[in-house]
Amino acid sequence: MYDAIVLAGGSAQRLGGIDKVMAEVGGMSLLDRALAACVDARSVVVVGPRRLVRRAVGWTSEDPSGSGPLAGIAAGLAAVAADVDTVVVLAADLPFVSRETVQRLVAPRPGHDAALLADADGRWQPLAGAYDAAALRRALASIGNPANRPVQLLVDRLRILPVPDAYAARDCDTPEQLASARTELEGGMTSLDEWVAELRDALGVERDIELKPILDLARVAAHNIERPAAPVTTFLAGYAAGLRGGAPEQVDDALRTAGERAAAHTPVEH
């Protein structure tokens, strides 16, 4: 279980000063899309002015108002329950982050203080991540006053696990990016679950597919080796399971073996 902090402040200067997080994409506002991605959260705190949203949330604001995302994280953390172990931080201008994305971020991460989305160039997105709450509090305390200070100060104090996902890491900062998001998400883009169902039918696969171990294997291979290792590793695991008969226990064994091998490699530096 986790609590979530959704950052919904800012004046969106590059979008003409509109209330960006209330811009509709795919039939709902950007803010509601962020809240939907955190549907499994025990509680959600939105940092920013109160708006009309589709679920019950708590509200707070950075101090002073408009003093940046680091101050927003600090304000949100002060508003979540003291007993929380994991806190998801999510900017409200990331329309491609889904519930599945957040589930990947909150997966166990031994030896790390946070799991952050990484874009196609390997850059971390600190406003799309899952943080160990205690480590986050310590880091913020060591920074002092967070107002108008860079989020990089926070990242520098934590042990980060990158979660490569160039699609989900895309934000909406310009009119062109907002238009592109609308085109993709209102144009009937296929969800992962829909695609898996379609592909199962096309390939004649009758058994249900549990996606989490496959996505976990791809994540470890991409992180510990290099990004192209993710599809190659999952393909080889599936191919090996098929050669052995393709029974559920053979699939599980192939995924486990590949995962152990990938985990044994030294992660690449970002």
pLDDT tens-digit profile of 106-124? 999 899 999 999 988 889 9
Q: Average pLDDT of 66-81?
A: 94
- Is there a single domain that holds both residue 113 and residue 221? no
Beta-strand (E) ranges in the chain?
A: 3-7, 24-25, 28-29, 44-47, 58-60, 86-91, 114-118, 124-132, 160-164
pLDDT digits (tens, 9 = 90+) for 25-67: 888 899 999 999 999 999 999 999 999 998 899 999 998 888 8
- Is there a single domain that holds both residue 166 and residue 74? yes
- Is there a single domain that holds both residue 19 and residue 151? yes
Last residue of a domain, one of 157, 186, 215: 186
Assigned domain for 61 exists: yes
Which domain, by its residues, includes 161?
Answer: 3-186
- Is there a single domain that holds both residue 64 and residue 173? yes
Q: Are 26 and 32 in contact (CB under 8 A)?
A: no
Assigned domain for 268 exists: no
CA distance 104 to 216: 8
Confidence band, pLDDT 50/70/90 cuts, at residue 190:
low
Confidence band, pLDDT 50/70/90 cuts, at residue 192:
low
- Is there a single domain that holds both residue 97 and residue 164? yes
Last residue of a domain, one of 169, 186, 203: 186
What pLDDT score does 12 carry? 54
- Is there a single domain that holds both residue 233 and residue 125? no
Angle of helix 248-263 relative to helix 211-224, nearest 10 degrees, comes to 20
Lookup: tokens for 51? 């708006």
Tell me, rounded to whole angstroms, the distance of Cα 46 from its chain centroid: 17
CA distance 44 to 88: 9
pLDDT at 15 over 60: no
Assigned domain for 65 exists: yes
Q: Average pLDDT of 142-159?
A: 95
Confidence band, pLDDT 50/70/90 cuts, at residue 270:
very low
